[in-house]
Amino acid sequence: MSNNSNEPWVEKYRPKSIKEMALPMAKLGRQRVNVAEKLKEFIHNFFEEIKKINEKNQQIRSFNRTATEKQQKDEISLPPEKAAVLLEGQPGIGKTSIVYALANDLNMEVIETNASDTRTRDSLEAKLKETSKSRGIMDFISEKKKKLILIDEIDGIYGNKDRGAVPAILDIVKQTQFPIIMCSNEYKSNLQSLYNIIPRYEVHPLPKDEMIKITIKIMKNENVKEITKEDLELIIERNGGDLRGVINDLQALSKGERSSDEERKDMIYSFHRDTTEEIFGIIRDLFQEVETLEQARELTNKSDVDYNFLYKWINQNIPSFITYKDELENAYENLAEADKIFGRIRRNMEWSLLPYFYDLFAGGVVLVQKKSRSKGFRPVNFPRYSSSAGMSLSNAEKSLYQKIRQVYEISQTEALRDF
C-alpha cells in the first residue's frame, strides 16, 4: 500500500476485517442481531441455492430444446429474500465498511453501484462484464474471486414511466448470479413493498465510547498530540452518530497549526455550521454560475464538505437543473466515469487521483449544459430527505417536470417528490 498523504483517514482507517471493527447494533424487525453473522449466512446460503437453481435451469433448458411449445417450462429464479438484503441507517455509521470488511474476510470482490443513477441495471451489467473481462495476469486471481454486489442509495432509485422503483430493483434481484446487499439512509414509504419481501436490517450508530476508542487509535497512529479528549467529545457530539463525519473533522482539525483550546473549539464549531446553507449555495453556483473547469475546482476546493457528501448532492440535483435529454445523458455518463475512477482509487489506494474524481462528478456534470443554462430559481434537493409531494407546484413547473419525466423516464412520484 502506498503511503499517500492525500489519503482521507476515513479510507485509510476503514476496517479491513470484521474482526477488527466495532460492529454497530442492528435489528431485524424487533430482534437484535449480529449483522455481520447474518450477512455471512446470507452470502453462504446464496451460493448454495444459486447453484441448485442453475442446475435446475440447465435441465429445464435442455428439456425445452426438444419439447413442443406447449410443454415448454419456465426457468426459475431464487426468491428475492434469498438474493438480496437491505442495510438501512443514517450516513456514516459503517454500512459500507461492514460490506467491504466482510468481502475481505470472505475473499470476495465488491461490485459497487449507485441506485440513484437510473441506469443502475446497465451500469451493473457493465461493471460485472468489466471484471470478468481479461485483465492479464490479474485475470487468474479475479476470476476465482466471488463477487458481492453493493447497491448504494437504494432510497434514491428511480422507476421509469411504466414501472415503479420496486419492480426495477426486483428485476435486478431476480436475475442476479451474485448476492446483493443494498444500502439506504432512511425508511421510504414507496419502498414498503420491497421491505415486505427482502430482509431489512436497521443499523444503528456506534455508541460514543466506541467512537472514542476508534478515534484515539487514529490519533495515536497519526501522532496527533494537541487534540484533547474534550475536543473529541465535542466532535462526536456535533456529528450525531456519523463516524465518517467525526473522522473527517479530526483530520481537518489535526491539519491546523498548533492552537489553543479555544481556537480548536471554535474550529470544531465552525465545521458543521451552515453546512446545509453552504451546500445549497454550492449546488446552485455549480449548476448555474460555473463556466469552466477551473471555476468548478475553485468552488469544490473552497468548501469543506467531503466528497461523499458533495457527490450525493450533485447526483441528486442533476434532474433539477439539467433538462435536455442529451445533456442529461452526458451528465450521467460523466458521473459513471467518476464512479469508475473512484473504484480504482479505492481498489489501488491511488489517492492522488482524487482531484480527477472531483473534476468528473462536479465540473464534468455541470459543464455538460450547453443549450440551456437554467437561470433563476431552481429547487435544490436534499438527498436524504424528501419534502411532501407537489402541492405547491406551479403549472409551469408541472409541465417542466412532465418534460423531464418523459425525456428521462422517471416516475411521477419521484419527479414530484423533489419539489
| Site residues, Mg ion (CB under 5 A) | 96
- The secondary element (H helix, E strand) that includes residue 114 is strand 108-114
Tell me how far CA of residue 16 lies from CA of 35, 77, 150, 214, 353, in angstroms.
Answer: 16, 33, 17, 14, 22
Measured from the Cβ of residue 66, the count of other Cβ atoms closer than 10 Å reads 7
Choice from 7, 26, 82, 96 touching ligand ATP (CB under 6 A): 96
Taking the least distance from each CB to ligand ATP, the nearer of 348 and 372 is: 348
In terms of Cα–Cα distance, which of 78, 41, 79 is closest to 57? 78
Taking the least distance from each CB to Mg ion, the nearer of 149 and 404 is: 149
Choice from 127, 147, 188, 244 touching ligand ATP (CB under 6 A): 244
Taking the least distance from each CB to ligand ATP, the nearer of 21 and 299 is: 21
Q: From Mg ion, ligand ATP, none, which one binds at residue 97 (CB under 5 to 8 Å depending on kind)? A: ligand ATP
Residue 353, classified by CB atoms within 10 Å of its CB into exposed (0-12), middle (13-18) or buried (19+), is: middle
313 vs 130: CA distance, rounded Å: 27
Taking the least distance from each CB to ligand ATP, the nearer of 10 and 331 is: 10
The sheet carrying 31-33 orders its strands as 31-33, 26-28, 200-203, 84-88, 180-184, 146-152, 108-114
164 vs 206: CA distance, rounded Å: 34
Q: Does 92 bind ligand ATP (CB under 6 A)?
A: yes
List the alpha helices (DSSP H) in 189-228: 192-195, 208-222
Taking the least distance from each CB to Mg ion, the nearer of 11 and 329 is: 11
Q: Does 94 bind ligand ATP (CB under 6 A)?
A: yes
Name every residue whose Cβ is closer than 8 Å to that of residue 187 and which is 6 or more positions away in sequence.
Answer: 88
Q: Does 15 bind ligand ATP (CB under 6 A)?
A: yes
Q: Does 14 bind ligand ATP (CB under 6 A)?
A: yes
Least distance CB 9 / ligand ATP (angstroms) = 7
Residue list 184-223, contact with ligand ATP (CB under 6 A): 185, 214
Q: From ligand ATP, Mg ion, none, which one binds at residue 13 (CB under 5 to 8 Å depending on kind)? A: ligand ATP
Size of the residue set binding ligand ATP (CB under 6 A): 20
Helix (H, G, I), strand (E, B) or coil at 110: strand
CA torsion through residues 300, 225, 214, 352, sign: positive
- Cell readout for 296 is 468548478
Q: Does 10 bind ligand ATP (CB under 6 A)?
A: yes
Name every residue whose Cβ is closer than 8 Å to that of residue 137 and which is 6 or more positions away in sequence.
Answer: none
Q: Does 93 bind ligand ATP (CB under 6 A)?
A: yes
Q: Does 97 bind ligand ATP (CB under 6 A)?
A: yes
Q: Does 113 bind ligand ATP (CB under 6 A)?
A: no
Q: In DSSP terms, which residues pair with 200 in a beta bridge? A: 86
Q: Does 116 bind ligand ATP (CB under 6 A)?
A: no
Q: Does 247 bind ligand ATP (CB under 6 A)?
A: yes
Measured from the Cβ of residue 52, the count of other Cβ atoms closer than 10 Å reads 11
Binding range to ligand ATP, per CB under 6 A, among 30-38, 69-77, 88-96, 296-304: 88-96
Distance between terminal CA atoms of the chain?
Answer: 45
Taking the least distance from each CB to ligand ATP, the nearer of 97 and 334 is: 97
- The secondary element (H helix, E strand) that includes residue 184 is strand 180-184
Q: From ligand ATP, Mg ion, none, which one binds at residue 93 (CB under 5 to 8 Å depending on kind)? A: ligand ATP
How do strand 200-203 and strand 146-152 relate by DSSP bridges? Answer: unpaired
Q: From Mg ion, ligand ATP, none, which one binds at residue 335 (CB under 5 to 8 Å depending on kind)? A: none
- Give the single-character DSSP code of 93: S
Cell 474524481 -> residue: 357
* Residues 304-343: x where in contact with ligand ATP by CB under 6 A, - otherwise, as a string: ----------------------------------------
In terms of Cα–Cα distance, which of 386, 398, 394, 410 is closest to 325? 410
Least distance CB 183 / ligand ATP (angstroms) = 6
244 vs 247: CA distance, rounded Å: 5
Least distance CB 280 / ligand ATP (angstroms) = 19
Least distance CB 229 / Mg ion (angstroms) = 28
Binding range to ligand ATP, per CB under 6 A, among 10-18, 103-111, 222-230, 403-411: 10-18
Taking the least distance from each CB to ligand ATP, the nearer of 197 and 216 is: 216
Least distance CB 5 / ligand ATP (angstroms) = 17
Choice from 4, 22, 325, 390 touching ligand ATP (CB under 6 A): 22
- Residues at the contact surface with ligand ATP, assessed by CB under 6 A: 10, 13-15, 21-22, 89, 91-97, 183, 185, 214, 243-244, 247
